[in-house]
Amino acid sequence: MKSQFRHVALIGKYPAAVPGALSGSVRSALEDIAHFLNAKGCEVAFERETAATAGITGYTTLEVAAIGEQCDLVLVVGGDGTMLGIGRQLARHGVPLVGINQGRLGFITDIPLDNYRSLLEPMLEGAYEEDHRSLMHARVFRDGHCVFDALAMNDVVVNRGATSGMVELRVEVDGHFVSNQRADGLIVASPTGSTAYSLSAGGPLLHPSTPGWVLVPIAPHTLSNRPLVLPDASEITIEVVSGRDASANFDMQSMASLLRGDRITVRRSEHHVRFLHPIGWTYFDTLRMKLHWNEGN
Coil, strand, or helix at residue 25?
helix
7-126 and 136-269 share one fold: no
Contact residues for 198 (Cβ-Cβ < 8 A; gap 6+): 155, 187, 189, 214, 216, 227
Contact residues for 229 (Cβ-Cβ < 8 A; gap 6+): 204, 206, 212, 213, 214, 215
What CATH number labels 7-126? 3.40.50.10330
Phi-psi label, residue 23: left if phi above 0, alpha if psi -120 to 50, beta otherwise: beta
Are 84 and 249 in contact by the 8 Å Cβ rule? The answer is no
C-alpha 197/C-alpha 203 separation (Å) is: 9
CB-count burial class (<10 Å; 0-12, 13-18, 19+) for 267:
middle
Size (the chain), residues? 297
List active site positions. 80
Are 68 and 93 in contact by the 8 Å Cβ rule? The answer is yes
- Indicate yes or no: pTM above 0.85: yes
- Rounded to 5°, the CA angle 174-180-184 comes to 115
Instruction: Supply the pLDDT for residue 23.
Output: 55
pLDDT in tens, the chain (297 residues): 667 999 999 999 755 444 444 556 778 999 999 999 999 999 999 999 999 998 999 999 999 999 999 999 999 998 898 999 999 999 999 999 999 998 777 899 989 998 899 999 999 999 999 999 999 999 999 999 999 999 999 999 999 877 778 999 999 999 999 999 999 999 999 999 999 999 999 999 999 999 999 999 999 999 899 999 999 999 999 999 998 889 999 997 887 789 999 999 999 999 999 999 999 999 998 999 888 887 655
- List the chain domain ranges: 7-126, 136-269
Instruction: Supply the pLDDT for residue 16.
Output: 46
Instruction: Supply the pLDDT for residue 158.
Output: 95
Instruction: Supply the pLDDT for residue 18.
Output: 45
Q: Which helix (H) or strand (E) is 108 found in, with range?
A: none
**CATH number for domain 136-269, candidates 2.40.30.10, 3.30.470.20, 3.40.50.720, 2.60.200.30:** 2.60.200.30
Are 64 and 90 in contact by the 8 Å Cβ rule? The answer is yes
Instruction: Supply the pLDDT for residue 13.
Output: 77
Sheet bearing 253-258, strands edge to edge: 228-231, 212-218, 185-189, 155-159, 246-250, 253-258
Taking Cα atoms as reference points, which of 99, 56, 59, 96 lies closest to residue 76? Answer: 99
Beta bridge partners of 80: none
Instruction: Supply the pLDDT for residue 161.
Output: 79
In order of 135, 188, 239, the CA distances from 132 in angstroms are 10, 19, 31
Instruction: Supply the pLDDT for residue 17.
Output: 43
Instruction: Supply the pLDDT for residue 253.
Output: 80
State the first-to-last Cα distance of the chain, in angstroms, to the nearest integer. 38
